[in-house]
A and B are shown apart, each in its own frame.
Chain A
C-alpha cells in the first residue's frame, strides 16, 4: 500500500511517516500525568514533566492533523465513489467527468495543503520530544547504567520467569492504527503498575519511533511542494492519476485501519509454573 506515491523518496516508503507518526503521537494524547508517576522513582527518571509536556503537545498537533485529514479523506471518498458510479473510467473526455476529476484533484490538493500546513508544527514538536527523550536515555541508561544494571532494571522483580505487568509495545511493528491506539490505551490504563523495567522499554520504543518519524517528516516536507506542483498541472487537464487513487486508498487505510498489517507482538506460550529451586550460584 502506498500512501503518497508522489511524495515517495528512494528508500523511504511514503506510508511510513504517517504509520509511525500518528500512533507515536497519539500515545502522548492518552497519557495522563499519572502515567508517568513511576518515572519519578529515584532510580531512573525517563519521563520527567518536560518530556510529558512535549509528548502532550506533540499529541495535540498530531490529533489536529489527523482530524483534518479524516474530514478531507471522507470527501475524497465520496467524490471517488461518485466518479466511479458515473462510469467516468474510460470516459475522461466527458465534460461531466472532467468536472468531477477536477473536484477530486482539488480535494487532493487540499489534503496536501493540510499536510504542508501542519507538518512544520509536527516536525517541531516531534523533534522536541525526541530530543528530550534522547537526553534522558543518554543520561539515565547510557551514562548512569552498566549493561548489568540495565539487565537488572529490565528484569525488575521478575527474574524467575513471570511476565512483566505491562504489555510490551513495539512502535515500529506496522500494526494498524486503531489497534495501536487500543494497545497504547491498555498500556496507559495499566500504567499505575508500571515500574522502571517497562518504562525503559517504553521510552526506547517512543524514542526510536520519534527518531524515524522526525526523519520521515523532513523528507516528506521536501516532497510536498513537488507533489503539489504535479497535481496543479494535472488540474489543468482534469485528469485523475492512478497515484491519486492510490493516495486516497493509502491515507484511508492508515487512518481507518489496515487489516493486512495487523501484526501482533508475539507473546510466549505459558510456561511451567514449577520453579521452586533457586541455586546458591545464581546472580
Chain B
C-alpha cells in the first residue's frame, strides 16, 4: 500500500513538472524589442528580423520606431527605404497590399488616403464633411513628418497643405450647393 502511494506521488510530481515545463515554453513570447540603433538601414534589418520571429503583431510600433529613427537623419533617400521595407512586409505576408499602400501614402505621398471612397460627394462626403476634414488634418500632420521631417521634401508637404485648403474650399462650396437642392 505504502509503495503504491509513493509511486503515485512520484508519478504526479513528474507530471506536474512536465506540465510546468510545457506551459513555460508555450507562454514565452519573443522579446519584440525595438531597434537599438540610430542608423535607419540597420534598424530596418533589426525590425525585419523581429517581424519574422513572431513580432508581426507589433508592426505599427515598429513602423513608428523606424519613422522616429529616420527623423534623426532626414534625407530624400529615406522614402525609398520605407517603400522597400513595406514591399518586403507585403511579400512576407505581414501586410496586405492595401495596408502597405496606406502606410506609405499616408506619410510619403501628397495625396490623402483619407479621401478614398467610391460614392459621390453629395451623398457620401458632404454628410460627414467635418469628420473628413479632421481626418485630413491628422493625415497632414503625418505628411509633415514623412515628407518634410524625414524625406526633406518640403515642396511635397506644402503641396499637400495647399491641397488640404483647396479641398476644404471646394467641399464647402459643393456641399452648400448639394444642400441647396434639398
Contacts and interface: CB of A to CB of B under 8 A. Distances in A.
A279 B174 contact: no
B79 interface: yes
A141 B121 contact: yes
A146 interface: yes
20 contacts: A133-B177, A134-B176, A142-B122, A146-B124, A148-B115, A148-B116, A151-B115, A151-B163, A155-B159, A158-B159, A159-B110, A161-B156, A162-B159, A205-B169, A211-B176, A268-B161, A272-B152, A273-B155, A280-B83, A281-B101
B162 interface: yes
A141 B110 contact: no
B10 interface: no
A143 B122 contact: yes
How extensive is the interface on chain B, given as a class? 35 or more
Given A146-B121, A279-B108, A154 B80 contact: no
Contacts of B124: 146-147
Contact of B166 (A133, A159, A201, A273): A201
B172 interface: yes
A132 to B, nearest CB: 11
Interface in B147-182: 152-159, 161-163, 165-167, 169-178, 180-181
Given A208-B176, A271-B154, A150 B110 contact: no
Interface residues of A, number: 50
A184 interface: no
Contacts of A269: 154, 158
B28 to A, nearest CB: 35
Given A146-B117, A279-B79, A281-B86, A151 B178 contact: no
Interface string A121-139: 0000000000001110110
A268 B153 CA distance: 13
Interface string A240-283: 00000000000000000000000000001111111111011111
A59 to B, nearest CB: 20
A283 B106 CA distance: 11
Interface in A12-65: none
A49 B171 CA distance: 24
B94 interface: no
Contacts of B155: 161-162, 268, 270-273, 275
A204 B163 contact: no
A142 B101 contact: no
Interface of A: 133-135, 137-138, 141-148, 150-152, 154-155, 158-163, 168, 170, 197, 200-201, 203-205, 207-208, 211, 268-277, 279-283
B177 A142 contact: yes
B177 to A, nearest CB: 4
A139 B181 CA distance: 11
A200 to B, nearest CB: 5
A203 B173 contact: yes
Interface string B91-128: 00000000011001100111111011111111011100
A158 B160 CA distance: 11
A271 B83 contact: no
Nearest to B79: A277
Contacts of A279: 79-80, 82-83, 104, 108-109
B170 A150 contact: yes
